Amino acid sequence: MTPDWPVPPTVRALSTWRGGGVSRGPYASLNLGDHVGDDPDAVASNRRAVRDAAGLPAEPVWLRQVHGLRVADLDAGTPDAPADAAITRRRGRVAAILTADCLPVLIAAEDGTAVAAAHAGWRGLAAGVLEATVRALGVPPPRLLAWIGPGIGRKHYEVGPEVRAAFASQGSAAEWAFRPNARGRYLADLPALARDRLEALGIERVGATADCTYSDANRYFSHRRDGHCGRQATLIWLD
């Protein structure tokens, strides 16, 4: 999938689907995650296939994601510590986010001079991973564009009251992004929470896909649906 957002031609981005690879079983078939128990040779083959098919300028920088706040500056080299976001201002450095229900969020400067990618599950959103990413970019938010990639949709994302409380305590969109259900829990609108955070930062141009990873088993891995599964990737770089 190519994001539909009005970025300059120097900004390139894509989000993978799960088909077209060599992995088997719960990882079938284009699993790009090397931390989920898949055959390492299959993952390496899948990553090569993406690089070749997309014409990537370099191997993506695959972060060790931990639902944290650290932002890796890819211009300083390959990160040696876990990170959940990455930024670059140089051509040819490919930032990658792996997901299987959490949101990949891409951010780009309107003049095409800087890009970022962030891993945004509920923990990261509540803790401020998008805010940390924008700070690291150092571009005034009105000059940024954002795109929210495929993640779990509201109809399938049941969470407990502690998740709602984490957002409500910060005065964010808890009232309308959490719908109570018959089980005494909530259906959370993760993309809406991400959009709320981005707009609160001052990013006015926010696009998103309507794709739900849980409801589309043919295209996407979903941890909530399948448990043990592979990961798709969302990539961004400067050409």
Domain range annotation of the chain: 11-152+205-238
Condensed to tens digits (0 to 9), the pLDDT of residues 99-136 reads 999 999 999 999 999 999 999 999 999 999 999 999 99
CA dist 222 and 36 (Å) reads 13
pLDDT at 172: 67
Q: Which of 158, 163, 84 is nearest to 128 (CA)?
A: 84
CA dist 63 and 43 (Å) reads 15
Structure tokens at 219: 């295209």
Helix axes 129-137, 190-201, angle to 10 degrees: 40
Type and span of the H or E element at 145: strand 144-148
Mean residue pLDDT of the chain comes to 97
pLDDT at 31: 98
The answer to whether residues 3 and 207 touch, using CB atoms and an 8 Å cutoff, is yes
User: What is the CATH topology of the domain spanning 11-152+205-238?
Assistant: CNF1/YfiH-like putative cysteine hydrolases (3.60.140)
DSSP string, 177-200: HEEE-TTS-EEE-HHHHHHHHHHH
Type and span of the H or E element at 71: strand 71-73
Condensed to tens digits (0 to 9), the pLDDT of residues 69-98 reads 999 999 999 999 999 999 999 999 999 999
Peptide bond preceding 29 in cis form (omega within 30 of 0):
yes
Q: How many CB atoms lie within 10 A of CB 181?
A: 10
CA dist 91 and 10 (Å) reads 9
pLDDT at 176: 87
pLDDT > 70 in the chain, percent? 99
**Looking at the predicted structure, is the pLDDT value of residue 36 above 90?**
yes
pLDDT tier, 173 (very low <50, low <70, confident <90, very high otherwise):
low
Alpha helices in 140-237 (DSSP H): 161-168, 174-177, 190-201, 223-226
